[in-house]
Chains A and B, each alone.
Chain A
């Protein structure tokens, strides 16, 4: 081998760099976040799986409808009751804690929604 003194360290650095997540986590898979669910309510505006995958798109749609077209109608159905399109008046009525509900998953997945740029987060 020619220039092994430069190429082998280079290769080792490359392999260490690519496998960085292995060294960083050190075999500890961590705990999967468990957001605290409201105790008195069993149903949300969409089925669980859809909420998990699509809640951000739903909230974004509500935001556009409420703020851009001024449509604040009570057309969100949970069970038999109708609710308003509103983060603070609907979502946060059941999911009272931002820290125990929103933040658990968002921190784990490093998601920083900008809801709280305008809304005032509940004091906890």
Chain B
């Protein structure tokens, strides 16, 4: 169920956009209204989620350290794994975002006969993750050729190196292969690794299916279902989106609308799902805090404002009642006070 329901959802999205975009006139909905709405949801939702996180206080200083922390100046400490200063934290964050160092540390626990427990380095998730994420990044950057006019040299350069094998026409891109490889390996991990399968939820499968569908529609559009794929008409529409003068000129094939609809679905789904780790990685307190608990006091922002109340002040406040109840006091009542108490 948890495998098939998200798959059915993606198939439904494909069928919906396929049938929808075939109805005359609906191209304006699927080609203009839907992408704009999706972008609004994406940007608005993304900012909303980040601001909600920014408003949540971090009660404790909780950096995760995995190296020698700073103690005495002559004991060498691990600047990346137990960062003390802001530049060190930034270096750690940068390497986390760019190289996924915490996945690199992943270990696998196994029980052998004996029973004997072993931990062994397991870098598969890191490998699949890095394959997928960098392929996706290059693909997104490559798509900028359809949005920017004139096309900057950097984008053309990325495209040149991606298609450097010059296989077929249109040229096959390396990232088309690597992103599918990454996605199917990540999906296969959820299917075949018992531990991961046990903890996987429909919302783990859905984005994988959805991105696989986006990649497959893109590949089909580029190589196999070319009828009606007039790249000039498509670029005109894409440049139209970003200049707010969208024009749907020719009969663009349905596969294009399916591709655009699936990307729109991904954009809308993004801020409300686990995909927000894109923004969340920057806000993870275990990574973005310095390991300086012994040098700087971290005050819990939601601590109530309690004023100090000394015993002397306490006795001043309650002396009369204390004397009345026979509780010993340090400072006796003054003559006037005891006279007032008598009455």
Task: Report which A residues bind B (CB closer than 8 A).
Answer: 1-4, 7, 10-11, 14-15, 18-22, 24-25, 27-30, 32-33, 49-50, 52-54, 56-57, 59-60, 105, 107-114
Contact = CB atoms under 8 A, between A and B. Distances in A.
Contacts of A32: 232, 236, 249
A61 to B, nearest CB: 9
Contacts of A52: 230, 232
Given A15-B43, A25-B148, 20 more contacts: A1-B51, A1-B55, A2-B58, A4-B54, A7-B54, A14-B279, A25-B147, A25-B239, A25-B242, A29-B245, A29-B247, A30-B150, A32-B236, A50-B227, A56-B169, A57-B170, A108-B232, A109-B146, A112-B160, A114-B166
B54 A2 contact: yes
B151 interface: yes
Contact of A113 (B43, B156, B169, B227): B169
B244 interface: yes
A109 B235 contact: yes
Contacts of A29: 149, 236, 239-240, 243, 245, 247
A76 B122 CA distance: 58
A57 B235 CA distance: 20
B277 to A, nearest CB: 14
B41 to A, nearest CB: 13
Contact of B283 (A7, A22, A27, A113): A7
Given A21-B148, A53-B229, A56-B169, A2 B156 contact: no
Given A25-B239, A112-B156, A53 B149 contact: no
Contact of B243 (A11, A25, A53): A25
Contacts of A24: 148, 152, 242
Nearest to B244: A27
B284 to A, nearest CB: 13
A109 B231 contact: yes
Q: Which 4 A-B pairs have the closest CB atoms?
A: A60-B169, A21-B242, A110-B151, A21-B147
Contact residues on B (Cβ < 8 Å of other chain), bracket? 35 or more
Contacts, number: 106
Interface of B: 42-43, 46-47, 50-51, 54-58, 144-152, 155-156, 159-160, 166, 168-170, 226-232, 235-236, 239-240, 242-245, 247, 249-251, 279, 282-283, 301
A52 to B, nearest CB: 5
A29 B237 CA distance: 9
A108 B50 CA distance: 37
Contacts of A112: 156, 160
B154 to A, nearest CB: 11
10 contacts: A1-B54, A1-B55, A2-B57, A4-B54, A52-B230, A53-B230, A57-B169, A105-B231, A107-B150, A109-B232
A112 B249 CA distance: 24
Given A25-B239, A30-B239, A59-B169, A2 B230 contact: no
Contacts of B51: 1, 7, 11
Task: Tell me which of A2, A28, A110, A114 has the highest count of chain B C-beta atoms within 10 A of its own C-beta.
Answer: A110
Contacts of B169: 56-57, 59-60, 113
Contact of A110 (B42, B155, B229): B155
B48 to A, nearest CB: 10
A7 B249 CA distance: 42
A105 B232 contact: yes
